[in-house]
């Protein structure tokens, strides 16, 4: 006799993906969607994203776009999404620049000067909070805020940050993502630039973006979501951010996370649901069940044999991955799974 696979003794230690009889777009009132790797990559819409989001929106789900990329303003992001066929208002976009600006405003006086190491998104967000962006450490800033400045960011900008920090000015960062997806592949993100300043100064920034609480606070304040679903492609930002905010999450495999990383995820990186792409918002999610010697989903059974995760049966690739998650996460408990899953993932084409 089979039973639901979840064996959690600690509610915070997830041992398998959840199932849902209803479509996720009906269960949750608001989708908090990451952008890069979820909705688009390199500026182009990811397959099935436009149609899936349109269907979810037409069904009554509120769509909000939550990005750690602090370069562009919300209005610019909304314009881009609208051009892709996803009608969006600037108020539906929440950026790490906004979260950083609120964090800075909590620590400095109204009207204070803030040294900006980044793009227009940061400048607009600071002005929204009543702060004055400046460009030089010699402009007497009371804080430094650093965000993604794009591939053309001049090296001298990092020096300005270092000069101000060396004078005792507090340092804030929009986010610390080491990488960012681009049309040509994975490129250095703001986290890589933050490391440059950290190494040069020995200082530590206060960070606003996902997965930390300031970003979750900003998102909830701006969307008013009551039953949010975080939708993302990154375990260490999107999924961990949902974990920290104690809300459910959907991981889609259209971005940087692959099957092996998912199976090895520690508890804070384990999503509530797993699917191939944004079509997963429009459907129910199959239940993973405990079966003799392993975990079943669809036509697949996953189990542990020696030092290996083994997959038997056949069916949809995502069902096999869900079953493997249950086997791996149960084996790992509150740690990480180091079992070899290479052959099992190859069977699924992952």
User: 26-30, 82-86, 179-183, 279-283: which range is least confident on average?
Assistant: 179-183
Q: What is the pLDDT of residues 146-189, one digit of tens each?
A: 999 999 999 999 999 999 999 999 999 999 999 887 778 888 99
pLDDT (0 to 100) of residue 299: 96
Distances (CA, A) of 210 to 30, 146, 291: 18, 15, 37
Q: Is 36 a catalytic residue?
A: yes
In the predicted model, what is the mean pLDDT of the chain? 95
Enumerate residues 6+ apart whose C-beta is below 8 A from 132: 111, 112, 113, 114, 126
In the block, which residue shows the tokens 């999450």? 249
φ, ψ of residue 135 to 5 degrees: the values are -110, -10
Token output for 315: 């069916």
SS3 215: helix
Can you tell me the mean pLDDT for 296-314?
97
pLDDT (0 to 100) of residue 47: 97
Q: What is the pLDDT of residues 98-124, one digit of tens each?
A: 999 999 999 999 999 999 999 999 999
CA distance 257 to 31: 20
* Cα-based torsion angle of the residue sequence 54, 21, 313, 347 in order, rounded to the nearest 10 degrees: 30
Can you tell me the mean pLDDT for 201-219?
96
* CA-based nearest residue to 70, from 220, 210, 280: 210
pLDDT (0 to 100) of residue 184: 81
Q: What angle do CA 161, 163, 168 make, to 5 degrees?
A: 95
pLDDT (0 to 100) of residue 2: 35
Query: DSSP letter at 285?
Result: B
CA distance 79 to 181: 20
Q: What is the pLDDT of residues 44-83, one digit of tens each?
A: 999 999 999 999 999 999 999 999 999 999 999 999 999 9
φ, ψ of residue 64 to 5 degrees: the values are -125, 140
In the block, which residue shows the tokens 């542990």? 304
Q: Is 34 a catalytic residue?
A: yes
What's the pTM value of the predicted model, to 2 decimals? 0.92
pLDDT (0 to 100) of residue 181: 73
CA distance 164 to 152: 22
Strand spans (E) along 143-276: 143-146, 171-173, 179-182, 185-188, 206-207, 228-232, 248-252, 273-275
Active-site pick, 18, 34, 177, 292: 34
Question: DSSP labels for 90-148?
Answer: GGGEEEHHHHHHHHHHTTS-TT-EEEEES-HHHHHHHHHTT-EEES-GGG--SEEEE--
> pLDDT-derived band of residue 11, with 50, 70 and 90 as boundaries?
low
CA distance 249 to 167: 42
């Amino acid at each position: 006799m089979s039973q639901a696979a979840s064996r959690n003794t600690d509610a915070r230690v997830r041992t398998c993906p959840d199932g849902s009889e209803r479509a996720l777009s009906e269960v949750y009132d608001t989708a908090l969607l990451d952008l890069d790797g979820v909705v688009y990559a390199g500026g182009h819409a990811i397959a099935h994203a436009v149609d899936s989001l349109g269907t979810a929106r037409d069904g009554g789900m509120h769509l909000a776009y939550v990005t750690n990329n602090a370069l562009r303003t919300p209005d610019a992001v909304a314009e881009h999404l609208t051009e892709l066929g996803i009608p969006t208002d600037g108020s539906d976009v929440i950026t790490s620049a906004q979260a950083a600006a609120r964090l800075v405003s909590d620590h400095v006086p109204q009207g204070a000067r803030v040294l900006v190491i980044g793009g227009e998104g940061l400048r607009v967000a600071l002005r929204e909070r009543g702060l004055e962006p400046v460009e030089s450490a010699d402009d007497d800033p009371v804080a430094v805020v650093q965000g993604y400045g794009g591939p053309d960011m001049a090296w001298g900008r990092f020096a300005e940050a270092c000069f101000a920090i060396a004078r005792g000015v507090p340092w804030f960062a929009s986010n610390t993502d080491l990488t960012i997806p681009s049309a040509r592949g994975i490129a250095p993100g703001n986290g890589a630039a933050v490391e440059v300043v950290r190494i040069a100064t020995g200082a530590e920034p206060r960070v606003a973006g996902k997965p930390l609480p300031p970003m979750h606070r900003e998102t909830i304040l701006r969307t008013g979501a009551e039953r949010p679903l975080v939708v993302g492609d990154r375990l260490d930002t999107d999924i961990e951010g949902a974990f920290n905010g104690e809300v459910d999450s959907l991981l889609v495999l259209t971005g940087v996370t692959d099957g092996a990383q998912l199976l090895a995820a520690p508890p804070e990186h384990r999503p509530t649901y797993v699917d191939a792409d944004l079509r997963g918002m429009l459907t129910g999610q199959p239940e993973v069940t405990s079966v003799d010697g392993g975990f079943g989903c669809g036509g697949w059974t996953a189990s542990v044999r020696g030092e290996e995760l083994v997959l038997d049966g056949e069916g949809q690739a995502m069902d096999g991955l869900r079953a493997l998650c249950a086997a791996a996460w149960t084996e790992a408990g509150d740690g990480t799974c180091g079992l070899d899953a290479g052959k099992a993932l190859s069977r699924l084409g992952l």
